[in-house]
């Protein structure tokens, strides 16, 4: 079975975060770094992703290029 990846561009990220809570996402920053984990919480300035080693990553929304997630995992 194939996966369906959904990309959310920087301008649409904040409005999409509510429905992505507790979903595994890839957050790609402007400099090309990728952070993978479950979206735990967010504010207008930051989001909190917890990776598979249970480490928290606080990412500023302004530094994000896009968010990618698997639609079948929702």
Summarize pLDDT for 15-70 with one digit per residue, the tens: 999 999 999 999 999 999 999 999 999 999 999 999 999 999 999 999 999 999 99
Q: Can you count the helices (H) and strands (E) in the chain?
A: 1, 6
Q: Band the pLDDT of 74: cuts 50, 70, 90.
A: low
Read off the pLDDT of residues 19-32 as tens digits, 9 standing for 90 and up. 999 999 999 999 99
Task: Please name the residue ranges forming H helices in the chain.
Answer: 13-20
Backbone angles phi, psi at 62, to 5 degrees: -65, -20
């Amino acid at each position: 079975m194939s996966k369906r990846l959904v990309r959310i561009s920087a301008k649409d990220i904040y409005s999409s975060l509510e429905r992505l809570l507790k979903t595994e996402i890839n957050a790609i920053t402007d400099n090309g770094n990728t952070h993978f984990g479950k979206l735990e919480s967010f504010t207008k300035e930051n989001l909190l992703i917890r990776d598979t080693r249970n480490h928290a990553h606080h990412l500023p929304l302004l530094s994000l290029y896009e968010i990618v997630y698997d639609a079948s995992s929702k």
